[in-house]
Structure 1
């Protein structure tokens, strides 16, 4: 199969994890909303994933912007309602205006025992409720000193299992976003190397084959200003971490996506 090129419609966003207080989250969301016109003019989809506590307040802020900012949630349960203490209903997320649900982040897998099967069921619930799953995939071990092709092959094998499990659970025509986040690069001082990321993400796109629904692939893992230019041959956008806590960095990334 020939290489599948990245899509024209790019996408960038960030998850706030559990870093911000409620007041800082709302202030940050207002600043993100101010970037919506730039993103729209740049043909870039912009998304924000705050913590659960602040979703409704963030939804209110973002719904008042003339240009869209997609609201995301950091996780969900795979049942719509019931006796599931402490869980969050995908049906309720949809009702308050959530468009994207992040699933399978390395922290969820490592700290809370998330499995590919569990993530697949959540992806099905997200799609069933009219939202887009943003599924994080990535290899655990950093490339060794051996051949670069061996590191790429190892990464693709690990990611393939994670991706195929999720794809099997959702309709062929549904939209899905995969965030390629090498676990060893999360929180590092630099993103993973250009050649490695581009080679891996091109293979991940092939894994998705001839799906009817739109598939977009992001890179995450110490991404920031300057990252997209290096990786644009393989990805449709970036999933930013702490670099995006400074809104000016996010603005720079959108500008870079506009130019390239």
Structure 2
């Protein structure tokens, strides 16, 4: 069976860097940039993942723009006595389109395991949203070592979500986060190609896209396009002009 077509995609997470006022101003400036090239949203998918507090206001600001809004996390049950958690059912109800799960920070700080991430991915997909699953190896080494470590993360997720559900994998070597030297482009492309070749990815009916979630800069996608479908930006994308420039680069890359 031929693989479903994959659109290029780029997005940003604001993590916990923005105030509510800054988030509102950021989205307004982003929309101004997009108004210069409205056709760009017909060429690629774009998403923004704000904090939970400003999520609904961002959804309202982006209404009618085709820019997707995501959440930075969600619980794995739809409802119940889970004080402080965020219901995926409510996220879907208010118009959230993507749910980020399994970020390295949550694995490190909150002790989330592959099984927790898989359950959260399943809850997002069950409620009609796209799970954006962060994956990556902790130990620096050969491509084969990275793939072996990522395989477990990916297989857990794919076993949990429906076969026809769309999934986005955001790959970033954990050892490269904050490191003086980022992972090389050749290394990233090689790992991503091996992840795509996993049976649990190849045999799926649903679309599986792979993003690179590491430090971004001008020209990065051009070096990675052979392997990835797009980029998941962090602080680099917190400048709306740089985010827009990255969109242009991804949309125009041959």
**Range into which the TM-score falls when normalised by the shorter chain:** over 0.9
Q: Secondary structure at the match of 1:225?
A: coil
The 1:164–1:109 alpha-carbon spacing in structure 2 relative to 1, beyond 3 Å, is same
Matched, 1:232 2:230: no
**1:80 Cα deviation (Å)?**
0.6
Q: Distance in 2 between matches of 1:119 and 1:45?
A: 24
How far off its partner does 1:210 sit?
2.2
Provide the secondary structure at the position in 2 that maps to 1:85.
coil
1:160 aligns with one of 140, 148, 151: 151
Asked whether the equivalents of residues 9 and 230 of structure 2 are also in contact (C-alpha less than 8 Å), the reply is yes
How many correspondences in the alignment?
Answer: 248
> After superposition, what is the alpha-carbon deviation per residue over 1:50-82, rounded to whole angstroms, capped at 9, x for unaligned?
00010111111011x4x3100000000011111
* TM-score where L is the length of structure 1: 0.90
Per-residue CA distance 1:202-246 (angstroms, 9 max, x = gap): 011111112110000000111222110000000000000110111
Counting only pairs closer than 5 Å after superposition, residues 31-70 of structure 1 correspond to structure 2 as 31-36=29-34, 38=37, 40-41=39-40, 43-63=43-63, 65=64, 67-70=65-68
TM-score (norm 2): 0.93
Secondary structure of 1:53's counterpart equals coil
State how far apart, in whole Å, the 2-side matches of 1:45 and 1:132 are. Answer: 13
CA gap 1:15/1:39 in 2 versus in 1, 3 angstroms: farther
Aligned to 1:148: none
Partner of 2:13: 15
Alignment of 1:146-185 (within 5 A): 151-185=142-176
- What is the aligned counterpart of 2:202 among 199, 209, 232? 209
Checking the alignment, whether the CA contact within 8 Å between 2:8 and 2:251 is kept in structure 1 is: no
Cα root mean square deviation, aligned: 1.8
